[in-house]
Structure 1
Amino acid sequence: MYGLIGKIVCVAGLRDALAELLLAAVPGLPGCLSYVIAQGKPMIVGFAERVETTPLGGQGLAQA
């Protein structure tokens, strides 16, 4: 398992709308799951920096 932190680049002026759409989906997505919302695709220009991480604990991982 690994973690991925990425930056979404959106269409100018649509940052708040995209953030609202993504935040509305959070309650149904436990943990750090990767997801793309089809409704948000027209608001996304691309993806910028990304960093892979190694989770030390959390949902879905065995307790130490």
Structure 2
Amino acid sequence: MYGLIGRMIATPGKREELLDIMLEGIDFMPGCISYVIARDPAHAEGIWITEVWDSAESHKASLGLPSVQATIARARPLIAGFDSRSETEPVGGIGL
């Protein structure tokens, strides 16, 4: 399995709008085992994204899906940046 955990920073005052776009854009993604979007309670504009995939290749392929591309296009103006990104190797857990 392949995992990613990262923190996205929304432009000032746009976190809720960005969350809405990201949640609307969730669609079937082949190989995606878990995809969780969460507010960062310690950062007013922070959003944590936690992903688990069956492989790194499935994750990479998902970035070319029309639904993902549309979400990225809508979200991009509301993203100030990313300040944390870690790749992981999930080994198990609830729902895996």
TM norm structure 1: 0.70
Count how many residue pairs are aligned between Structure 1 and Structure 2: 58
Which secondary structure state, in structure 2, belongs to the residue aligned with residue 56 of structure 1? Answer: coil
Structure 2 counterpart of 1:42, which letter?
A: P
- Provide, for residues 17-62 of structure 1, a one-character-per-residue CA deviation record: whole Å limited to 9, x for no partner: 000000111243443456561110000011011221102254xxxx
Q: List structure 1 runs of 4+ shifted beyond 2 angstroms.
A: 27-36
Q: 2:19 is matched with which residue?
A: 19
What residue ranges of structure 1 are gaps of 5+ in the alignment? 59-64
Q: Any unmatched runs of 5+ in structure 2?
A: 34-50, 52-58
- 1:1-64 matched pairs, under 5 angstroms: 1-29=1-29, 30-31=32-33, 32=51, 33=59, 35=63, 37-57=72-92, 58=96
Cα RMSD between the aligned structures? 2.2
Question: What TM-score results when the alignment is normalised by the length of structure 2?
Answer: 0.50
